[in-house]
Amino acid sequence: QKEVEQNSGPLSVPEGAIASLNCTYSDRGSQSFFWYRQYSGKSPELIMFIYSNGDKEDGRFTAQLNKASQYVSLLIRDSQPSDSATYLCAVNNNAGNMLTFGGGTRLMVKP
Amino acid sequence: DAGITQSPRYKITETGRQVTLMCHQTWSHSYMFWYRQDLGHGLRLIYYSAAADITDKGEVPDGYVVSRSKTENFPLTLESATRSQTSVYFCASSGLGHREQFFGPGTRLTVL
């Protein structure tokens, strides 16, 4: 069983809609949670991190964390075609600075 | 002042040859990491380093060697390349007390 699970997608949403990306993790001791965006042929780029239960907003992005249910989600409001990418969820379980990555969800935003 | 750089960006080599991928960061980050990314496997950790002269194995270390004599550099060597090592390799770094990792642009390696 993978430690960090994501639906591989593709998740297809129309332009202007809200895209909801989900991630579950198995280690209850996990403390830090990260969302990376990766465009095709490019390297992962950090877009959000969250440490505490609840919501954290940054522009059009909102990260949501529920430690009791062991899931973290990323909402993208007013989705744009430029948001089309693979989104990677990563979790730190206090093993130094190591992150465990999910397999990623491919998001397609259609004009 | 590019932050974290990797070289070469593309490399084609033959089975059995030694190949070294370079990674350099200008942030003085304590931690550095090497990942490979393959379709169907996502990002897999090869080796990591918590500081100069401190390295440790990740999930898939076989066939790879690392060293870290200086904080800013973390080279990855394939001692005898195999076709299964054809992949995209990413170097990443993170600062002490900060869990977020920042990635280099990647090296696309093809082993013929």
Collect all residues with Cβ–Cβ distance below 8 Å to A69 and sequence separation of at least 6. none
3-state secondary structure of A83: helix
Mean model confidence pLDDT for chain A: 94
Whether A109 has a pLDDT exceeding 60, the answer reads yes
B42–A101 CB contact, under 8 Å: yes
Q: What is the pLDDT of residues A60-103, one digit of tens each?
A: 999 999 999 999 999 999 999 999 999 999 999 776 788 999 99
Specify the pLDDT at position B41.
Answer: 81
Residue B12 token pair: 């084609």
Specify the pLDDT at position A1.
Answer: 55
Evaluated on CA atoms B52, B54, B58, B62, the torsion sign reads positive
Distance from the Cα of A57 to chain B's closest Cα (Å) equals 17
Percent of chain A residues topping a pLDDT of 70: 97
- Nearest Cα residue to A9 out of A83, A92, A68: A83
CA-to-CA distance for A42 and A49, rounded, in angstroms?
Answer: 20
- Mean pLDDT of all residues in A35-57: 96
- Nearest Cα residue to B103 out of A76, A84, A99: A99
Give me the residue from A44, A88, A92 closest to B99, CB to CB: A92
Dihedral of CA atoms A47, A49, A53, A56 in degrees, nearest 10, equals -40
- Chain B residues in contact with A43 by the CB 8 A cut-off are 90, 103-106
Specify the pLDDT at position B79.
Answer: 95
Residue B84 token pair: 């299964």
Whether A5 has a pLDDT exceeding 80, the answer reads yes
- Mean pLDDT of all residues in A8-13: 94
Collect the ranges in chain B with pLDDT lower than 50. Answer: none
- Chain A residues in contact with B103 by the CB 8 A cut-off are 36, 43-45
